[in-house]
Structure 1
Amino acid sequence: MNIKTTKLLSDLNEQLNFIELEIDNQITRCESSIEIILKVLINLKNLISKFKFKSETEEIQFFKEIKPQFSSKLIYYNMVYKIEMKRPNGGNRIVKKYFQNELQKLKAYFDNELDFYKYYRSGSSYLDHKYFLRGKFDIKLALDSYYFETDASFSTSHDFKVARILANDLIQLYIEDQLIMIENKDLGDKSQRKPNTKLIWTSSKVALTELIYALHSEGVFNNGAADLKDIAENFEHIFEIDLGQYRRTFLEIRARKNDKTKFITTLNEGLLKRMENSDEVI
């Protein structure tokens, strides 16, 4: 099961990444992404319909950890689609207020679901048998009405809530990125002295994002007082590169199963190899 779902998720991420690169219009991008995700969810549902879980633990793992990774993407792109469709045509001040209101909506959802947020974020499991087993819902747990309209063979009372939490993390980053872009427009282009030698970043944007987060974590700029946003903008300016939603990229890096710091590990290994080579020119 894990091998098949991992392959499905990997293929889905690959298709979504391709769309991110190929389609510039955000609304069109969301439409294409939603279409693909729906097809993959149908495949996932068919897979589960033919599969018998070996234990309750395995079933809980699927509905708590695996399915939300798929459904959260659908929630994310659908909500971004709605946000962009309703984006006002006014000036920066109006658009900024609009996105701030969207952040407030996320906070309202968080406040309303605070108990489950705490349960999920803390890694608790004492209610998993009620939350993530099919047909084991407890009406006293304040269920959303949508649950009673879902396919009971492919849903539990709380797998959607987990997906919503994961999606909300990404939506918050998306909105914050939009607000940063608005602030940058307000500030306007500032002339800065350029170095004599132009450097071009030829590794991946993911690798650069990993490096930026590592440097920020170590506090190497301004005695640790530099904001992540400022560091990222400086790197973007130096290398004339658009890192896009680098906060979202970091979430993907953090979710890696193996070697979360792949680029940093490669740097470390390369430097150690250079130090061990006595003939290397310093």
Structure 2
Amino acid sequence: MNSKYTTLLNNLNEQLNFIDLEIDDQIKKCEQAIAIILKSIKELKKVTSKINFKSQTEEIKFFKEIKPQFTSKLIYFNRVYKIEMKKPNGGNRILKKYNNNELLKLKAFFDSELEFYQYYRSGSTYLDYKYFLRGKFDIKLALDSYYFETDTSFSTSHDFKVATILANDLIQLYLENQLIMIDNKDISEKSQRKPNIKLMWTGSKVALTELLYALHSEGVFNNGAVDLKDIAEYFEHTFEIDLGQYRRAFLEIRARKSERTKFITSLNETLLKRMDNADDIA
């Protein structure tokens, strides 16, 4: 990379790091970051206008690798600014839905630009002469309308798309971190809301073992992505009970000559009876 480009990028990163450390308010942070990035891009444009690229390879490198490092930051902070400004007032459930919707927007961009995304991510170069040389646009390459309004001396048909891909990676991390923070807040709030009564398992260990295997077989915990051992330990901790050799107990259950699912069947019959009684009362 040209030493002037390196200096510009290093200075920009230092200023953005300083803002990140000094400003906690996300909206104010974005406002200051955008102002700094715009100045840096303006300086980058001035430096570039004074340099004649020695070859097409050098020009391609600038618009494919160097310029997007600047413009991706502008896209990122501008998008985060809009996300924060439009964030709804509400509880954790509303905020989770909002952030997940923003993630869906990123996926929509990925889906609409899949062909170029795969080209760029795979490190392909065979179309670089069309994508990253000025004045070499091809209308058949699904150009965005804004390209025709840009300064063609400082833009190619796809350098902004590269910047958007880089920015979207950061935006995805930002949104995922927001969701993690909401989940942690949920956990914290739930841990503070303790039940008024302590529940003890007063049924037999064999019955609980039967229930344990049934729930694990149904895959009701973590979309089925959890080990039987983890569920057993959770039951033992929650109900303060030692299930002992529950795997051996399951073998004995499986070997029953009649009514192997004795407890599950009893649950079903009891619930149906309760439903029938409720119908009678109604």
TM-score, reference length from structure 1? 0.67
Report Cα offsets for 1:186-210 as digits up to 9, x if no partner. Answer: 000769xxxxxxxxxxxxxxxxxxx
Match of 1:13 in 2: 13
Partner of 1:65: 65
Question: Counterpart in 1 of 2:43?
Answer: 43
Stretches of structure 1 that go unaligned for 5 or more consecutive residues are 192-224, 226-282
- The reply on whether 1:78 has 2:78 as its aligned counterpart is yes
Deviation at 1:159, TM superposition (A): 0.1
Deviation of residue 71 (structure 1)?
A: 0.2
Give the distance between the partners of 2:152 and 2:172, measured in 1 at CA. 30
Give 1:40 deviation, angstroms: 0.3
- Root-mean-square deviation over aligned CA pairs: 1.5
The offset of 1:54, in angstroms, is 0.3
Aligned partners of 1:147 and 1:119: how far apart in 2? Answer: 20
Letter in 2 for 1:158: H
Structure 1 residue runs of 4+, over 3 Å off?
none
Structure 1 partner of 2:91:
91
Aligned AA for 2:93?
Answer: R
SS of the residue 1:188 aligns to: helix
d(CA) in 1 for partners of 2:161 and 2:150? Answer: 13
Using the alignment, how far apart are the partners of 1:111 and 1:142 within structure 2? 14
Which runs of structure 2 are paired with 1:180-219 in the superposition (5 Å)? 180-188=180-188
Residue 266 (structure 2) aligns with:
none
Distance 2:67 2:4 in 1: 12
Q: Distance in 2 between matches of 1:3 and 1:49?
A: 15
2:206 alignment counterpart: none
Q: How far, CA to CA, are the matches of 1:169 and 1:40 in structure 2?
A: 22
Say if 2:113 is the partner of 1:113.
yes
SS at match of 2:155: coil
Give the letter for the 1:186 counterpart. D
Report deviation, 1:2.
1.2
How do residues 1-282 of structure 1 correspond to structure 2 at under 5 angstroms? 2-188=2-188
Deviation at 1:37, TM superposition (A): 0.1
Counterpart code for 2:39: K
Give the deviation of 1:180 after TM superposition: 0.2
Partners of 2:10 and 2:58 in 1: how far apart? 20
- State the Cα distance separating 1:123 from its structure 2 match: 0.1
> Could you tell me how far apart the structure 2 residues matched to 1:66 and 1:49 are?
15
Cα separation, 2, equivalents of 1:80 and 1:165: 15
Deviations 1:145-193 (A, max 9, x none): 00000000000000000000000000000000000000000000769xx
Task: Work out which of the two has the higher radius of gyration on C-alpha atoms and give 1 or 2.
Answer: 2
How far 1:69 moved relative to its partner? 0.2
**Matched position secondary structure for 1:135:** coil
Deviation of 1:138 after TM superposition, in Å, equals: 0.5
Question: Deviations along 1:88-128, whole A, 9 cap, x unmatched?
Answer: 01100001100000000000000000000000000000000
Partner AA of 2:32 in structure 1 = S
Residues of 2 paired with 1:85 and 1:31: CA distance? 11
State the Cα deviation string for residues 37-61 of structure 1 (Å, max 9, x = none). 0000000000111110000000000
**Which residue in the other structure is 1:251 paired with?**
none
**Structure 1 counterpart of 2:140, one-letter code:** K
Name the CA distance, whole Å, in 1 between partners of 2:66 and 2:123: 15
Please give the alpha-carbon distance, in whole angstroms, between the structure 1 residues aligned to 2:141 and 2:47: 29
Normalised by the size of structure 2, how large is the TM-score? 0.67
Q: Output the CA distance in 2 between the equivalents of 1:28 and 1:149.
A: 29
Cα separation, 1, equivalents of 2:182 and 2:142:
39
Partner of 1:204: none
Structure 2, unaligned runs of 5 or more: 193-224, 226-282
For residues 96 and 108 of structure 1, the distance between their equivalents in structure 2, rounded to whole angstroms, comes to 18
1:132 is aligned with what amino acid? F
CA deviations 1:233-282 (Å, max 9, x no partner) are xxxxxxxxxxxxxxxxxxxxxxxxxxxxxxxxxxxxxxxxxxxxxxxxxx
